[in-house]
Structure 1
C-alpha cells in the first residue's frame, strides 16, 4: 500500500480531513510512508502531534492503534500477556491430562491478550500505530520499542516469532520531557512541531470554527500569541485556541474585550496563577 503519492498529496488529503500540514510536516509524513520508517514527532504539548497520527489514519482509512505511554508501562501492557485466570481454569478442567498436552492446550491464541504493539504487527489491514508520549516511559520500554521497530517482529516463546505481514505506519510523539536514546532516534525520521505563527493559527481556527467572525478570530489568535509569550505553567494549545473560538461563538461575543477575556479565560488557561498573570499582563499591554 502506498500511503501517499507525493508530499502535496499529503497536504491536500490531510487538509480535507481538517489537519493543516505545513511543507515540512507533509514531506516527512510522505517519507515515513514511502520509506516504511517510524516517524518521531517532537514538540510542546498541544501543537498537533497526536492529531497528525489520527489525521493520517482518517485520511487513509487505516485503523489507528494507540499505545499511550506512562511511567511504569511494562512489556505486558505494551506487547502481550497471557490470560492466567483462564489458563488456570483450563488446567483445572483438564483433570488427569498430561502436562505436555495441557501445556500445548493453554499456550494458544485463545489465551493470548494482545496489547497495542503486537496488535499492530499482527494486523493484515492498513494500520497506523501511535506510540504517544514516548518520553514518559522508562528506558526498558525504549529497548522494547527498538526491538519491535527494527524488524517489525515479536518472538513469543510459547508460540514462536510473529512477523508483520503488512508494516504499520508508526508515529511516535514526544513532549521532550527527557532525551530519547540515540538508538531510537536513528531508526526514525524526525519532525519538530512548534506553535504555529498567527496567520497559520488563524487558518486553523477558521477551518475548525468557520462560523466565527474573522475579526474575532484575529483578536483571539493575537491574544493567544501574547499568552504564549508569558511565563505560564501551561501555554494554550492549538486545541484550546479552537475551544476558545467555539466558546466565543456560543456566547455570541462580538468583541474580545477585558470582560470577555475574564469570563472565558478558563477555556485556555487551567492554573489559577496563570489566570492572575495573564489578566494582569494583558491589561498592561492594551
Structure 2
C-alpha cells in the first residue's frame, strides 16, 4: 500500500461513513439487540451501498481523489519529492516514469469527469465535488497551503474527510434506498416494539424531516482524520523542510506534531465515547490507534513513521468499515 493509494481510498471510506452513519445512531442502537432488526439493518446497508446512486457516487469520489493525488504529485515533483528518495513512494515524474504534461492531463480529465458524474447524482453533490477540487488545488498547487501551517492540516482534513462525509450523507438523504427506506423501516419496527414510547413521535419527526445528521460521528471521525494527517506530515519532515515548506511538522517539530495528533485523536475518542462503549471492536481499534501513535512518538524516525502510516491507514479503514457494518 503506497501513501498515494491511502489518500485515494480514505475519501471513499469517509464517503461510506457519511452515508451509513445514520445506521450507527442512538435510535438504531436501541434496536440492535433484536435479531430481526439486525437483519433489517443488513438489508438497508447492502441496498444503499449497491444502489445505482451509490455506485455512481463512488466513481465521482474516486475520480476526484485521483485528480487531487495527481495535482499533489505534480506540485511535489517540483520541490519536496526531489528530496524524498528514501520513501516507499517515488514520484513518477521525479523517477521519469511519467511526464508532467501527462500527469496534468490525467488530473484535469479526472476532475472534469468527477463533476460530470457528480451532476448525475444532484447539483448539491456536484457542488461538493467542485469544493473538493478547490481545496485540492489550493492545498497542493497555488497558493500551496500545504506549506503554510496550520492551514495545511485544516485543508487536508476538509478535503479528505469533511467533504466526502457530507457527500455520503447527501447521497443517503437523496437516494430512494437511503433515508426514506430507513425511515419507513425504523418507524414500523419501533412502533411494533415500543407502542407506548412517547419518544416515537420525536424520532419520526427527526427522520422524516431529514435532520438526522450524525454530528458526533462527523466530528469524531474528522478529528481522527486530522490526527492521522499529523503522522503523514511528520513522515515528510525532511523533504518538506529541505524544500522550504512550513508544514505543521516543520513548524512544530516531529514530536510536538505527533503529540498534537494524539490530542486530536483523544478528542475524537471523547466525542465517539458512547459508540465505543457499545462496540468493543471499535474500542479495540481506537486503542490500537493510540498505541501506534505512542510508538511513533517514542522514536519518530523515517522507518517507524512509515510503518505507523501503513498501520494507522489499515486500522482506520478496518475500524470505520467495521463500525458501519456492525450489524452484519
Q: Provide the TM-score with structure 2 as the length reference.
A: 0.25
TM-score by length of 1: 0.27
Higher RCO structure (Cα 8 Å, ≥6 apart):
2
Q: Pick the structure with greater CA Rg.
A: 1
Question: Which has more strand, going by share of residues?
Answer: 1
